[in-house]
Structure 1
Amino acid sequence: MEKRKVLVVFFLGVLSSYSSHCQNLKSEELKSLTNEKFNVAFTNLHHFLKLQNDGNYRKQIDQNKHWCDSVFTKLNFKTQTIKTDGAPLLLAEKIYKKNFKSILFYLQIDGQPVDSSAWSQPDPFTPIIKELKNGIWSPIKIDSNQNIYDDNWRIFARSASDSKGPAMSLISALQILQKQNINPQYNIKVIMDFQEELGSPDLPKAVLENKDLLSAEMLFIMDGTRHLSNLPTLTYGARGITTATIKVFGPKYALHSGQYGNYAPNPVFEAARLISSLKDERGIVQIPGFYDGVILTARDKQLLATIPENNDSLIIRLGISKSEEVAPTYQEALQYPSLNIRGLKAAYTGIEVRTLIPEDVIIEIDMRLVPETPAERQLELLRNHIMEQGYHLVDSVPSSEDRATFKKLASLNTE
C-alpha cells in the first residue's frame, strides 16, 4: 500500500515540477498531501477494480469507459470518444494555457482474461488486502477509516498492478492538484486503451488518423513492470512483442493408446523436440540470426551496471537456481530479444486425463523485441528454423496428400 503512495507522490512531482505555485514544495510536503488524500485514493481504486475489464467483452469495455469518462469530467477535462473499427478509445484533455507544452499519458484500462477458480479468494474483482504469513498470503480486515497501512500489505484483485493501480496513481495526483488549486505548466492529454491485453488492435490506426488530436511534446506510458528496487522509475524504452502459434499435427483424430501405442506417432514428442531446438540448456535462443544487430558497448554496460540491482537476491526472490546466460546481469538481459513458450496444449490433464494419442499439439510463443530486431525479421527467422527442423508448413489443416507425403507437419500462425 505504501508503494502506491510513493507512486502518487512521484506523479505529483512530475505534474507539478514546473508549476510556479508548487516549485518550492518539498518531498515531505508532497508526501503529506498524499497521506491526507490516501483514503479517497484507495476507495476510488477499490471501486475501479470492481469493474470487470476483459477487453473481449464490449459491455465491460463500456462500463470502464464510462467510469473513466466520469472521473476525468470531474477533473474538468474535456473528454471525447475516438471511434475505431473495434473497441473505442477515450481521450481526456485539459488545456491550462494555450502556449504550454503538452504531455500525453497512455493508460491501459483492461486486464488479462481471468480464471476465477484459480484465485484463492471468492472474486478476483473484489479487492482484498492480504499479508504474508508463513509463506501464505492471508486476508486481513482493516478499518476503512484508518490512514495507516503496513508496507508489506498487498491489494489482491485483477488489474491491481497491471494496470489500474498505475492509472489510479495518475488520477489521484490530478485530484490532489485540483483540490490544492495547483496548475501544472503543461497541458495534459490522457488516452485510455481498453484492449491493450489483446494487443491494442485498433490503436495504431487510430493514432495515425488522429495525429493532431494526440500530438504532444512528451509521451508518458503508465504501464510496465516496477523496478526491482521498488523505487519510482522513469523507463525510456520497453521491449516490444510479437506472437506466433505453432500447431504440430499428428493423426487425423485422437487415437486410443492401448490400440495404437507403438504404431501411431504421438505429436507431443515431435513438438518436444521442436521446442528443445529453440533454446539450449543455457537459455540462449538457437534460431540463427536471432540476436543479430544487438551490440552493447563497454559504455553501455557501465551505465547499466549503475542501476541498483542485486542478482543474488533476485534469484532467491524468483525461486530459481540460476539465471539464463544470454547476459551476465538482469539489466543487460533486457537489452536483447527473448523467446518464450507462453502456452502448451495437447489432449487432457487432471481429472479429464485420457489414454489418448492426441491429434495435434499447440505451442503458443511470444517474442520480446528490441529496436535492432523487428517483428517481421524475427518471425521469418522462426519460420525458417521450423522448416530447418524438417517440417512441412501448411496454412491450416493438412490434406490427406500432405499427411501421406510428409512425416513432420505443422502450421505457423503469426496474426
Structure 2
Amino acid sequence: MKNWKALVVFTMCILTSYSSHCQILKGEELKSLTNENFNIAFTNLRHFLKLQNDGNYPEQIDKNKHWCDSVFRKLNFKTQTIKTDGAPLLFAEKIYKKNYKSILFYLQVDGQPVDSSAWSQTDPFTPIIKEFKNGIWSPIEIDSEQNIYDDDWRIFARSASDSKGPAMSLISALQILQEQNINPKYNIKVIMDFQEELGSPDLPKAVLENKDLLSAEMLFIMDGTRHLSNLPTLTYGARGIATATIKVFGPKYALHSGQYGNYAPNPVFEAARLISSLKDDRGIVQIPGFYDGVVLTERDKQLLAMIPENNDSLNTRLGIFSSEHVASTYQEALQFPSLNIRGLKAAYTGKEVRTLIPEDVVIEIDMRLVLETPAERQLELLRNHIIKQGYHLVDSAATSEDRATFKKLAAYEYRIGSKPFRTDMDTDIGKFLNSALEKVFGDDIVNMRTTGGSQPMAPFIQTLKIPAVSIRIPNPDNNIHGPDENLRLGNYREGILSCLAILTEPLP
C-alpha cells in the first residue's frame, strides 16, 4: 500500500511538472506550433470571410454571431448574447482557474459596405489568394491539403484585414492551445462587436449595464493595421471621430447655365471659398482654437522618435510632394486633431454631366479627435467658423423666407462617433505585451502612442477603469475600407504567433 501511494504521488508530481512545463513555451516552440497548424487556420479564415457582414443588415449580423458562438462553444467557452436597443453583442468567457485574473479581448466582426463593381474579383465575399507577378496581383490555385504557403501571397476579401483576420488569429491560437492541452495563466473574456463600422452606437450603454460581466485587468483590441514598417505593432491609443454635413444652398432648383449663367450665383463657388477657409496652404486648420490643449512633452517626442520612419520615404510611398505642416513627423501629426473633406457632391460628372447651375453643394467632413479636443468643442468651433464666413445656418431644408432674407445659406448637421483614448506606454500592460512578443520577434516591435483611426474603446476604459492596447496584425497596404481589401499571409501567420505568445505569457 505504501508503495502504491508513493507511485501515485510520484506520478502526480511528474504530471504537474509536465503541465507546468507546457505552459512556458519558448519562441521556437511557438513558431513550430503556428506553422504546423497554419493550414487549418487558413482554411477557417476563408470560411469566416464567406459570411457577408454589413452591420446595417440584421440577417448578416445573425449569421456571423451564430458562427462565432459555435466556434467559442467548441473551445469550451461559455457564451451569451448581450441584448441592446440595436444590434446584439456576443460575450464569451473561459475560466481556467477561479483565482486567476481576467483579460478581455475585443473582436470586430462587421465590415465596411462593398461596391462589387469596384473590386478586381466578382464577389468580395469569395476569398481569392493572389501573388504579385509582373506588376499585378494574379489569382493562384491552391490545393485544399496544401500546407506550404508563401508569406507574400495575399487573401483578398472584405474584412480580411479589418477585422476578421485579427479575430481569427486569436481564435486559431486558442484552438492550437486547446489541442495541445495548454492553458493560459489567466482567464479569458471576449466581447464581439457587429457594428463597429457604424460607430458601435449601442456599445457604451451595454458596457455600463454589464460592467461586472466584462470586468478585467486589461483590454486587448484585435483590430487595426500595423505600422508602415510592417513590424509587429502595439498601439496604445486611437483618435476619436466626429462628422459633419454642410449643404450650401443655391437656387430652388437646378438652372440652365446658358439661360441663367451670369445672373444666378452658382453655389459651388461659395462652397469652394468656404472649404478654402478651413485650411491654409500649409495644411493647418484655420478654425480658431482647433488645436488648443494639445501639448507634446519631451518624453512623448522621445517615444515617437523611436518609431522607424522616414518622411521622404513615406512621401514617395504616398505619392505626395510634401506633407502638411501640422507637425514635423508623421507620428507627431497623429497626436493632433485633423479636419478632412471626405466627400463633395454637386450636380453631375462623367457621362451624366450637363450644363446646369446646381441647386446645392454637399460637403462631408470628418474630424479626428484626441483626448484634449472633445467632439462637442470641435463641432461647435466648426459651426462658429461657418457663421463667421457669413452663413445663416438651418437644420435641414431652406424655406422661401430664408432664401429671401440671407445671402449665404447652409444646413449644418453632425454626428459624434467613437471617443479618443490613450493608455500610458510605460505601464504594466505595455511591459506584459512587449515581454510576450519579444519571445518570438526579439526587438522588432513597434510601440505607437496612438493610431490615426478610431476605435470604440472609450466605454471600456471609462467604465471598467482598465488600460487598453491594440494588437496590430494586418499589413499596412491592405486597402482597408476600400475595394480589393487584403491580408498578407505572413501577417496572418505572425498574428497567430503573436496571440500564442500573449496567451502563454504569465501576467505580472
- State if a TM-score over 0.5 links the two structures: yes
Which residue of 1 is the match for residue 16 of structure 2? none
Query: Are residues 140 and 99 of structure 1, via their aligned partners in 2, closer, same or farther at CA, if it must alter by over 3 Å?
Result: same
For the Cα contact (< 8 Å) 1:21–1:182, is it kept in 2? no
Where has structure 1 moved over 3 Å in runs of 4 or more?
19-24
Show the 5 A alignment for 1:172-191.
172-191=172-191
Query: Are residues 20 and 316 of structure 1, via their aligned partners in 2, closer, same or farther at CA, if it must alter by over 3 Å?
Result: farther
**How many aligned residue pairs are there?**
397
Query: Are residues 29 and 310 of structure 1, via their aligned partners in 2, closer, same or farther at CA, if it must alter by over 3 Å?
Result: farther
Distance 1:135 1:352 in 2: 33
SS in 1 for 2:91: strand
Distance 1:219 1:379 in 2: 30
Instruction: Please state how far the C-alpha of 1:166 moved relative to its aligned partner.
Output: 0.7
Which residue of 2 is the match for residue 211 of structure 1? 211
Which residue of 1 is the match for residue 97 of structure 2? 97
Which residue of 2 is the match for residue 221 of structure 1? 221
Greater mean deviation of Cα atoms: 163-172 or 225-234: 225-234
Distance 2:326 2:145 in 1: 49
SS in 2 for 1:367: strand
Distance 2:176 2:195 in 1: 28
Which residue of 2 is the match for residue 405 of structure 1? 405
For the Cα contact (< 8 Å) 1:108–1:192, is it kept in 2? yes
Q: Report Cα offsets for 1:300-349 as digits up to 9, x if no partner.
A: 21221011222222222222222211111111111111111111122222
SS in 2 for 1:383: helix
Which residue of 1 is the match for residue 7 of structure 2? none
Instruction: Please state how far the C-alpha of 1:83 moved relative to its aligned partner.
Output: 0.5
Query: Are residues 116 and 23 of structure 1, via their aligned partners in 2, closer, same or farther at CA, if it must alter by over 3 Å?
Result: same
Which residue of 2 is the match for residue 38 of structure 1? 38
Greater mean deviation of Cα atoms: 250-259 or 106-115: 250-259
Which residue of 1 is the match for residue 450 of structure 2? none
Query: Are residues 388 and 345 of structure 1, via their aligned partners in 2, closer, same or farther at CA, if it must alter by over 3 Å?
Result: same
SS in 2 for 1:174: helix
Is 1:145 the counterpart of 2:145? The answer is yes
Which residue of 1 is the match for residue 127 of structure 2? 127
Which residue of 2 is the match for residue 136 of structure 1? 136
For the Cα contact (< 8 Å) 1:245–1:364, is it kept in 2? yes
Which residue of 1 is the match for residue 167 of structure 2? 167
SS in 1 for 2:66: helix
Instruction: Please state how far the C-alpha of 1:138 moved relative to its aligned partner.
Output: 2.1
For the Cα contact (< 8 Å) 2:23–2:183, is it kept in 1? no
Which residue of 2 is the match for residue 276 of structure 1? 276
Which residue of 2 is the match for residue 303 of structure 1? 303
Query: Are residues 240 and 177 of structure 1, via their aligned partners in 2, closer, same or farther at CA, if it must alter by over 3 Å?
Result: same
Distance 1:320 1:140 in 2: 33
Is 1:372 the counterpart of 2:372? The answer is yes
Instruction: Please state how far the C-alpha of 1:27 moved relative to its aligned partner.
Output: 1.4
Distance 1:225 1:340 in 2: 20
Show the 5 A alignment for 1:186-205.
186-205=186-205
Which 5+ residue runs of structure 1 have no aligned equivalent? 1-18
For the Cα contact (< 8 Å) 1:111–1:159, is it kept in 2? yes
SS in 2 for 1:76: coil
Structure 2 counterpart of 1:237, one-letter code: G
SS in 2 for 1:320: coil
Which residue of 2 is the match for residue 6 of structure 1? none
For the Cα contact (< 8 Å) 2:108–2:163, is it kept in 1? yes
Query: Are residues 388 and 21 of structure 1, via their aligned partners in 2, closer, same or farther at CA, if it must alter by over 3 Å?
Result: farther
Greater mean deviation of Cα atoms: 315-324 or 369-378: 315-324
For the Cα contact (< 8 Å) 2:23–2:184, is it kept in 1? no
Structure 2 counterpart of 1:127, one-letter code: P
What's the Cα RMSD here?
Answer: 1.4
Query: Are residues 294 and 351 of structure 1, via their aligned partners in 2, closer, same or farther at CA, if it must alter by over 3 Å?
Result: same
SS in 1 for 2:219: strand
Which residue of 1 is the match for residue 335 of structure 2? 335
Q: Report Cα offsets for 1:222-263 as digits up to 9, x if no partner.
A: 112211121222211111111111111111112222222222
Q: Report Cα offsets for 1:53-104 as digits up to 9, x if no partner.
A: 1111111111111111111111111111111111111111111111111111
Distance 2:39 2:380 in 1: 51
Q: Report Cα offsets for 1:22-49 as digits up to 9, x if no partner.
A: 4542212111111111111111110111
Q: Report Cα offsets for 1:335-384 as digits up to 9, x if no partner.
A: 11111111112222222222222211111111111110111111111111
For the Cα contact (< 8 Å) 1:250–1:267, is it kept in 2? yes
Which residue of 1 is the match for residue 494 of structure 2? none
Distance 2:250 2:133 in 1: 47
For the Cα contact (< 8 Å) 1:248–1:361, is it kept in 2? yes
Which residue of 2 is the match for residue 243 of structure 1? 243
Instruction: Please state how far the C-alpha of 1:151 moved relative to its aligned partner.
Output: 2.8
Distance 1:320 1:132 in 2: 24
Query: Are residues 20 and 345 of structure 1, via their aligned partners in 2, closer, same or farther at CA, if it must alter by over 3 Å?
Result: farther
Which residue of 2 is the match for residue 107 of structure 1? 107
Say which structure, 1 or 2, has more relative contact order (CA 8 Å, 6+ apart).
2
Distance 1:49 1:89 in 2: 19
Greater mean deviation of Cα atoms: 264-273 or 35-44: 264-273
Identical-pair percentage: 89
Distance 2:136 2:250 in 1: 42
Query: Are residues 184 and 256 of structure 1, via their aligned partners in 2, closer, same or farther at CA, if it must alter by over 3 Å?
Result: same
Greater mean deviation of Cα atoms: 39-48 or 356-365: 356-365
SS in 2 for 1:414: strand
